[in-house]
Structure 1
């Protein structure tokens, strides 16, 4: 009997001790939560921050990473939550699926690349009808209900590239061209480029191929182009990795006299220009595109209607501009 009493008394003491420890733990957890809530910045309205989705053409691409950097900087400044997504390889259908998913998840705003596709435009219209503003970046979707476009004037960029090539190649010779995809921005660059080349009867565009936004495919396509057309004076690339791929192809085939022209500055471009393997590159303001797009979203959510077109500029990167920028400087500064 005494053993049972001692046993029961021990259990009671342990239970009381456990209850006391649990109460102390619960109080500590609550105190930690209160401190965390004090440290966490709350939106002025007391509501959750606006959620913005950036749907890029392809992830792990230097251009789109820079767009995301600018968008993230502006999102932080305005107290927004930015979520970036995109296909791992160029895939317009996957972009459309991601757009459908973002609409279903009720993001407060969407930043998307246009596709010049009626079905894609209808998805943008669906988002707008649901009260979700859409800003197109890099490539426009002008027939849709998007609120604005932010990016390069791509036809003008193609013309500027044409003028740059004429200055280096001269008024006669054969030229090859790589475009990254069939997207409207690439087509507009090619259209602008053609408009300049047509002014010079001695200049011809001998071949146009697609690299699928891939450095390796740019290299392969450029090698095939040079084998079929060894007389080419220049090859021009219109997406971010084309110039590096073309330069590698020229190195493999010992096409030392080939003039290589690239688009954007994916990291190694300056080195290749300094070594003479790339003649020049036309660099977009990719970081600024992301920053301006999020700024327009913020303004729209504050009740300010944006202008329809917001063109960002381009910069010529060559040996002369490198001397001004220096080896460690970028062709653009991100906010």
Structure 2
């Protein structure tokens, strides 16, 4: 790819980013108005039980699917749910929202686990106040949370490592993109992935970057990484928007010899798999996670004992089974 083509590709990515951010801003503004009204008016629903779900970020496909699962199960069981989230991934804002949720005195809170004593102390405070806390997507195992519902992230990371190390390439340098170091799920996936590839002959991890749950940032990090480490032959992303972002970054960098692997089942990821720019993705089931979290709380509200860990299935999506799954939610638990 010559310099002019690279410049045009980069400008296309920047224009797409600008339009995407504008859309997100308008959508988020409407959601913020709704959140303020909910916080001012209280529950505002007929249910005897009130649950607050604090998502990691607004308008993220993974969390939208998880919220859909929560909504469907809550409607079925007659549980009222409020949805709160920062506009962009921001651990400090998630902590502030958790503190506000405790002050609002719901019956339970669904949250993403975040590493750190301040977050654990707030979870403990909630439990001591009689507010059940269930972590989803990412755990906070050192806290007094009632339960964790979600992917076995260590095992999912190992599976991603097996996909990389078990492919046609038998060696190579790897670039890794994670969403955030504060998220327990990202650290566990990285740990599982590292345990496989570093024990395989000829594989090394050259660099690790952060996308902050941004497809555009994943693309930018990829370009920088491939420039600094031209020996990289494999790129992997450990959160949902990483793989399509990495694929765009690989294209902008003018590389055609880089394999890309990712997490989750987004339309952009499916399109990239179909186009051959992403090799495979590990698919979680966020909708099921939301459903199971509400069902667990319903059993808890009824006085039943509940498991402190409930893992949901995950599987692999690639070119061979791209058209074989209806919604990409997976067909069973990976080994």
Equivalent-residue separation in structure 2 for 1:304 and 1:188 (angstroms): 30
1:330 corresponds to 2:309: no
Q: Which residue of 2 aligns with 1:271?
A: 271
Give 1:169 shift: 5.1
1:44 is aligned to none
Secondary structure of 2:232's aligned partner: coil
SS of equivalent residue, structure 2 residue 64: helix
Distance 1:265 1:254 in 2: 25
Retained in 2: the 8 A contact 1:169–1:233?
Answer: no
CA contact (8 A) 2:126 2:132 kept: yes
Distance of 2:225 and 2:168 partners within structure 1: 18
Q: Are the counterparts in 1 of residues 66 and 287 from structure 2 also a CA contact under 8 Å?
A: yes
Q: Is the 8 A contact 2:51 2:109 kept in 1?
A: yes
1:1-335 pair list within 5 angstroms: 48-168=47-167, 170-182=169-181, 183-325=183-325, 329-332=326-329
What is the CA–CA distance in structure 2 between the aligned matches of 1:199 and 1:170, rounded to whole Å? 15
> 1-side partners of 2:271 and 2:215: how far apart?
16
Deviation at 1:248, TM superposition (A): 0.4
Deviations 1:89-108 (A, max 9, x none): 11111001111111111111
Q: How far off its partner does 1:308 sit?
A: 0.9
- Output the CA distance in 2 between the equivalents of 1:277 and 1:310: 34
* Residue 250 of structure 1, CA deviation: 1.1
Where 1:233 maps in the other structure, the secondary structure is strand
Question: Unaligned 5+ residue runs, structure 1?
Answer: 1-46
TM-score (norm 1): 0.83
> Compared with structure 1, are the counterparts of its residues 208 and 58 closer, same or farther at alpha carbon in structure 2 (3 Å cutoff)?
same
Q: Secondary structure at the match of 1:260?
A: strand
Q: Judge which range, 265-274 or 232-241, deviates more.
A: 265-274
Determine the C-alpha separation between the residues in 2 that align with 1:224 and 1:142.
35
**Which aligned segments of 4 or more residues in structure 1 are displaced greater than 4 angstroms?**
none
Partners of 1:169 and 1:132 in 2: CA distance: 51
Matched residues, number: 284
CA shift, 1:48, in A, is 4.0
Q: Secondary structure at the match of 1:250?
A: helix
Distance 2:132 2:305 in 1: 11
Asked whether the 8 Å contact 2:239–2:262 carries over to 1, the reply is: yes
Contact 1:169 1:234 in 2 (8 A): no
Equivalent residue of 2:300, what SS? helix
The structure whose Rg is larger is 1
How big is the shift at 1:181?
Answer: 0.4
Q: Once the 2 structures are TM-superposed, how far is the Cα of residue 291 of structure 1 from its aligned partner?
A: 0.5
